[in-house]
Amino acid sequence: MHKRRRGLLLIVVLMLMGLLFFIGMKMRPATQTTRNSETTPVQADVSENFEKLIQDIVHFAQQGKVPDVPFAAGEADQQTVHQQWGEPQQVVESANGQYEDYQDVTIGYHGSQAFDIRSFKEGVQKIHLADIKKSMGEPDDVRYYQDTTTNQVILVYQVNDSYQLKWILPKPTDNEANPAVHHISVYTELTHQATDVVEQMTLDEKIGQMMFAGVSGTTLQQETTSLIQDYKVGGFILYANNLETSQQTVTLINDIMAANTNNQLPLFIGTDQEGGKVVRLPRPLKNFPTNKKIGDINQSKFSYEVGQLLGEQLKTFGFNLDFAPVLDVNSNPNNPIIGDRSFSNNPDIVSKLGLQTMKGLESQQVIPVVKHFPGHGDTSVDSHLELPKVTKSLNDLNQLELLPFKDAIDNGADVVMVAHILLPKIDQQYPSSMSKEIITGMLRKQLGFDGVVMTDDMTMKAITNHFDIGQAAVDSVKAGSDIILIAHEFSNVTSAIDAVKAAVNKGEIAEDRINDSVRRIMQLKQKYQLDNQPVTTVDVNKLNADIEQVLNTYMK
């Protein structure tokens, strides 16, 4: 009996040993293959694969290309693409150029030259935000695009002097903090294309782009149509008296944009939507607290979300530019023009909150115009009524007024509005909006601003009480302004245009000086993808609900 049990036990042990040996033999070749293979391991690290793909994408981008596409941005022309790939599946015209769609590639053209090549290929769309930042670090620039169906973040990397690589992804949310790529774009800077377009423009077209005009009435008037079609004016400002109801506002803006159809550049459509007491959009749209109240709360996120909501409001109605935020430091409590439009009498608070409002507007593809350079907060006269005088030195301004503007410029401000203030310790003859010492010397050279310089409204009595408006426009252009804002009266706009044109024809202003301004204006319109597409309807209830939600969060 015992012998039988020992025999059975021995058999079981031998069977187990055989089984273990068999398993070992099965595993050994697979292990050996993995160890000796020079290809990607069977259990490859996914992030390493993406890192290699990202490196390949960067390599191609440095040549102006995307993977698997033989054409280079800045080199390929439309005829070559059509010869190799045939006719596109779809053609879309936009303010930036003509875009042609193929199966998973889109090519953008200025004239016949490709400048933007986009890839929607499946492999690209498997890369995530974290993969990009792990491989490439922080981007050189972050931009945003939003419309009724899209809310995207654009990470811009300058891969060399000639090309940008852009990663376009859904904007991260709490629910999806690491979104996958929607597409990539290899893009060549528009400087040379803008130069080509400017060289083909007439002098009338160029000077028109430098004018930002007001409109009369609540419907499209013949004078406004003439400014667009005859004088080629580049932008319009609308006030509360132009905007009665939501539908009327949409109709007016759509009619203005439709009148511009045959012009080669889209229009700036702007207004003063600051919040507080300076608002233009029609009721029953809810308002925001004053900047002073926002400054008292002093939370960056609140200021950013106010900027977002201002942008959302404006974009919904068809506007693409906001004369905000106010970066004036309210250092003089008796100031009759700024007051609670300023965030604070502390320049650090003005910088912090103004910058966030600016970025909030940008997130909605609305152009912020920071104002009123070099600072209106210590004036005792309203420039709508008379020319204010501030007896501060440049050193004084550097200690206070200029600080918020410097921060905004360092953080990518695109447009600076220059106020009508006489600063006799800097320029005894001209107010800041007409002063070369202030615009070119202080703003351009000292602060390094290379964006668009715009004047405050030249029909304010600070100007008209002392200067002929045509000559004032000429002097402002000579000083370095890119855009002359003339918010009232058709005749004022045409007088300014005629005066600037005469100054160019007489050699008083070099046409190259005009070209510089028009180039900046074109690049700004291209950056924000202005297209003057008509607006359909406005959901005021949604806008108001969004405002209420933010106010309830921060103003309990």
Q: Which residues are catalytic?
A: 384, 456
As given in the structure block, the two tokens for residue 512 are 């190259």
Question: Distance between CA atoms of 513 and 123, rounded to whole angstroms?
Answer: 47
For 204, other C-beta atoms within 10 Å of its C-beta total 13
Q: What is the DSSP letter of 444?
A: I
E-assigned strand segments in 82-231: 90-94, 97-101, 105-110, 113-119, 141-146, 151-158, 163-170, 183-188, 211-214
Measured CA to CA in angstroms, residue 418 lies from 93, 216, 248, 376, 415 at distances of: 35, 24, 31, 10, 10
Q: Beta strands 90-94 and 183-188: pairing type?
A: unpaired
Order of strands, sheet of 183-188, starting from the edge strand that comes earlier in the sequence: 90-94, 97-101, 105-110, 113-119, 183-188, 163-170, 151-158, 141-146
First to last CA, the chain: 89
Q: What is the DSSP letter of 381?
A: S
As given in the structure block, the two tokens for residue 510 are 């070099």
Q: Using the CB atoms, write b or e for 73-112: b if 16+ within 10 Å.
A: bbebebeebeeebeebeeeeeebbbbbbebeebbbbbbee
Runs of H (alpha helix) within 218-370: 222-229, 246-259, 291-297, 300-317, 347-362
Question: Distance between CA atoms of 314 and 292, rounded to whole angstroms?
Answer: 22
As given in the structure block, the two tokens for residue 149 are 């169906």
Question: Distance between CA atoms of 323 and 28, rounded to whole angstroms?
Answer: 72
Measured CA to CA in angstroms, residue 223 lies from 219, 232, 256 at distances of: 11, 12, 11
Q: Which of 366, 317, 372 is nearest to 341 (CA)?
A: 372
Asked if residues 310 and 288 have their Cβ atoms less than 8 Å apart, the reply is yes
CA angle 335, 337, 342 (to 5 degrees): 80
Q: Which of 184, 64, 170 is nearest to 124 (CA)?
A: 184
Q: Which of 87, 85, 82, 107 is nearest to 97 (CA)?
A: 107
Torsion of CA 312, 316, 318, 323, to 10 degrees: -30
Q: Which of 162, 118, 167 is nearest to 138 (CA)?
A: 167
